[in-house]
Amino acid sequence: MPYLELSLHSTEAEQPRYERALEDVGALSVTLLDADADTPAERAILEPGVGQTPVWKSLVLTALFDADTDALALLAALEAFDPGLDWAGVAFRKVEDEDWERAWLDQFQPMRFGQRTWIVPWNHDLPAEADVPEAAVVRLDPGLAFGSGTHPTTALCLRWLDALAAAGALRGARVLDFGCGSGILALAALKLGAAQALGVDNDPQALQASLDNAQRNAVDDRFAVYLPEDEPAAAYPVVVANILASALDALAEVLAARVAPGGRIALSGILRGQEPELLQRYAAWFDDLQVTSDEDWVRIEGVRR
């Protein structure tokens, strides 16, 4: 069925007020997008941190209402709920119902990372370059979770795992993917030679998407997922955490404890300019800390003392 879509621009500070107002007047859903992104695909994807909500400095909020909702009456209700907000820039349009996630997935194409790693949509033909014995192919359906390889934070981690595999550091290893989303990093590690992988995420939908993708790739017997509070404490030779800088800072002691002596860690989800504080924070436990960038994002990697 069709819907009435409302859209408006907001700052990070005002976003919670706008969202509360929209929900109070009956919004069926509220979506947050990056207003500064260059393309719709970039707006739609950002790896969230464990316990974090992805929020940008400038946002576009879109809310869906029943198709028969009176736009003028809705606007009056919003102004009455919070007259301190600027409702002058609100735009309305009618939209048809469709499977938005599937529509996005139709535009998701096979991608190569490093020497061997390929991320291929589950319903897409395997490219000729990936149809070779040495290719590490992950068949992926992101489902309702974050993580497809299209965002630089994920790409940075995939290339890191591919390089570890080339150096022989993944062969037979146990890998922890903290903030696993769709499971893409853990599954890539398994396809690249890891013996076992464990995924942690605070979103049950992410855990389900990870398990579904593990079954799709026939590695579910070597993969386990947990909510943060249920995660068994252990040390791993390889740990990757693609979350947000604030979460990486808050979880530094936890993540450091998860890396075995001599083990390797990769931290991503970090905007350029946020890395100095994290480098100082993680220097307490890690040597050989290095920074690699992709567009506006960076990855920090290091070796546990």
Which of 87, 103, 112, 102 has its CA nearest to residue 9?
Answer: 87
Q: Is 242 annotated as a binding residue?
A: yes
As a whole number of angstroms, the distance between CA 110 and CA 115 comes to 14
Report whether 179 belongs to an annotated binding site.
Answer: yes
Question: H helices of the chain, where?
Answer: 15-24, 40-44, 71-81, 100-105, 152-166, 184-191, 204-216, 245-250, 252-257, 275-282
Nearest to 299 by CA among 249, 260, 243, 255: 243
154 appears as a binding residue in the annotation: yes
Runs of H (alpha helix) within 85-127: 100-105
Q: Which of 167, 232, 229, 236 has its CA nearest to residue 196? A: 236
103: left (phi over 0), alpha (psi -120 to 50) or beta: alpha
Report whether 32 contacts 15 (CB < 8 A).
yes
List binding-site positions: 154, 179, 201, 242
- Binding residues for S-adenosyl-L-methionine, by number, are 154, 179, 201, 242
